[in-house]
Amino acid sequence: MKLATVRAEDGFRVVRVERDGYVDVGPGDVGELLGREDWQSFAAMTDGPVVHVSPEQLAPVIPQPGKIICVGLNYRTHITEMGRDLPQYPTLFAKYPEALIGPNDALVLPAESDSIDWEAELTVVVGRTVRRADRKTAAAAIAGYTILNDITARDWQFRTREWLQGKTWEATTPLGPYLVTPDELRPDAEISCTVDDEVMQKSTIADLVFDAADLVSYVSTMITLNPGDLIATGTTGGVGHARKPPRYLRAGQRVVTRIEGIGELVTPVVGGAS
């Protein structure tokens, strides 16, 4: 099953994605829907009207997550290109909801940075409350998956040893287009990122060092995870910062982030305010 959050005149609405269009499930967003214990059966059984949805209407699939936990250095290819050893534990940082934009929204380059980079990421959507979950419980707590591009201001990221300031710039992080339930995603699904149709990143999610269940278990050890919380699982090799010379995003470019079985983010890049 695939679900999306749509911008409507009266607020957000949840839609179910079918081959012949979008079925209206009802008011609210997907994050709110996940608060229902019966969310999956409710979303699958609701037989609302088929509605037209333009690309611009698609909102971040979880517009207001309680937590956005991000994982750094979690693909073997990316760890190698950054010159680091495989980690013993996940490297964690956070984003805030203000960083999120929709799956087809424009990325407005911050005027304060000239080193904006791309990072395609599989993202876990939590579907039930868990704390100190073992691997089996963690896997059962996963509502599904979506796509996030962890757009990063590299010059700000590396001002200090802490990454937060380069990672959660307001209105820079596309999320979506859909939540797909775990049965829809192959364990070796392809993940990619292109800039102006040039392939920058291409791998499979099988290259993850710590997989989704590992991460839900690990994060839930320290803090309760709730329905709608997000865990971005890290990016694969091919980021602009690791290239020689480095390459960064410029106004007029177009970034497309894809994961097989989920969909794609299409992100036009526009100049920021002076």
The pLDDT, as a whole number, for residue 73 is 82
For the 62-270 domain, the top CATH level (class) is: alpha beta
Residue 116 has pLDDT above 70, yes or no: yes
pTM: 0.95
CB atoms within 10 A of CB 60: 27
SS3 label, residue 120: strand
What tens digit of pLDDT does each residue of 211-269 get?
999 999 999 999 999 999 999 999 999 999 999 999 999 999 999 999 999 999 999 99
Tokens describing residue 162: 């802490």
The pLDDT, as a whole number, for residue 273 is 58
> Alpha carbon of 81 to those of 9, 190, 192, 236, 240: distances in Å?
46, 19, 16, 9, 11
Give the phi and the psi of residue 212 in degrees, each rounded to 5.
Answer: -60, -45
Higher-confidence position of 171 and 80:
171
Which helix (DSSP H) or strand (DSSP E) does residue 157 occupy?
helix 154-157
Positive or negative: CA dihedral 95, 262, 268, 105: negative
Q: DSSP class of residue 64?
A: S
- Beta-carbon contacts of residue 68 (< 8 Å; ≥ 6 apart): 94, 95, 96, 97, 99, 100, 229, 230, 232
SS3 label, residue 32: helix
85: confidence class by pLDDT, cuts 50, 70, 90 = confident
Tokens describing residue 187: 């364990």
What's the whole-number mean pLDDT along residues 194-200? 97
| Separation of alpha carbons 34 and 31, rounded Å | 5
Residue 272 has pLDDT above 80, yes or no: no
